[in-house]
Amino acid sequence: MRLYKKIKLMAVRFFVVLTFSLGFASCVNSLNPWGKRQDPGEDGAAMLLMLGIRVPDDLNSNGCNTELSGNTRRTVVKAVSGVNWTYCDLGSLSTVNAASTVWDLRFQRFRISTNSGTAWSGSGGSCDTGSDDFAGVKSVTCTIAIDQRVSAESGGASGSSAVEWDGAAALVQWYDYNSDTHVLTAKDRVYIIRANDGTAHYKLQMTDYYDQAGTSGYPTFRWELL
């Protein structure tokens, strides 16, 4: 009987500590002192995985939203999860399911992959033009490379430790990270993206990582078909 009471007490204590920890983490990550909201979804998803609880597949619903202005398109990606990827098919201007093979770019917070190499089975790829002049890039001016195992250095947008993933090496450092304010700012660099079919090419320039409310995990880019 005493053993039963001890086990019951331990279970209650664990539940209280877990509930407090999750609530505290949500409060700490919801808004940092510099006005940029940090989405608690990543921390929550990681905790669910630790507890063996399945993460919902629809965490990134309404992922790729594209607006057209002349020949230039602007896409805002909802990539708030640190577990699930958001898949964008540039050719059809749509979000696709993870099971689909027809996509050009995928996003997981600040991480970016093309449909190629170690990331997937497509014929995509990417390269850095070395130019910040979006209008001036009119053709493929760099050597396309397929995806490989890449990482973000410790202390960067990945937080306190380095993060590895299968992604586009050219796009690993698409941002500048302020370690004092913990704010990520898109660089002006122009990249070339080869589509999943291996034939179409796009020029792309990242422009933001936050939505209008200042919430992180919304990588935004403008792009055109070359």
Write out the chain's pLDDT in tens, 226 residues.
554 444 444 554 544 444 434 443 444 333 443 346 654 444 444 443 344 443 444 444 569 999 998 899 999 999 999 899 999 999 999 999 988 999 999 999 999 999 999 999 999 999 999 999 999 999 999 999 999 999 876 445 655 567 899 999 999 999 999 988 889 999 999 999 999 999 999 999 999 999 999 999 999 999 999 9
Are 92 and 182 in the same domain?
Answer: yes
> Would residue 44 count as lying in a domain?
yes
Q: What is the pLDDT of residue 17?
A: 40
User: Smallest Cα–Cα separation from 73: which of 193, 205, 189, 218?
Assistant: 205
Same domain, 143 and 38: no
pLDDT at 152: 78
- pLDDT given for residue 76 in this prediction: 97
How high is the pLDDT of residue 158? 57
In a domain, 38, yes or no: yes
Which residues are bridge partners to 193 per DSSP? 126, 202
Structural domain range at position 198: 60-225
- State residue 157's pLDDT score: 61
User: 25 and 72, same structural domain?
Assistant: no
Q: Is residue 55 part of a domain?
A: no
Q: In terms of domains, do 8 and 65 share one?
A: no
| Same domain assignment for residues 38 and 66 | no
Given a contact cutoff of 8 angstroms between Cβ atoms, the answer to whether 203 and 191 are in contact is: yes
Distance of CA 104 to the CA centre of its chain: 14
Q: Would you state the structure tokens that stand for residue 103, as one six-digit string?
A: 């996509």
Residue 132 pLDDT: 98
Q: Which of 213, 195, 43 is nearest to 105 (CA)?
A: 195
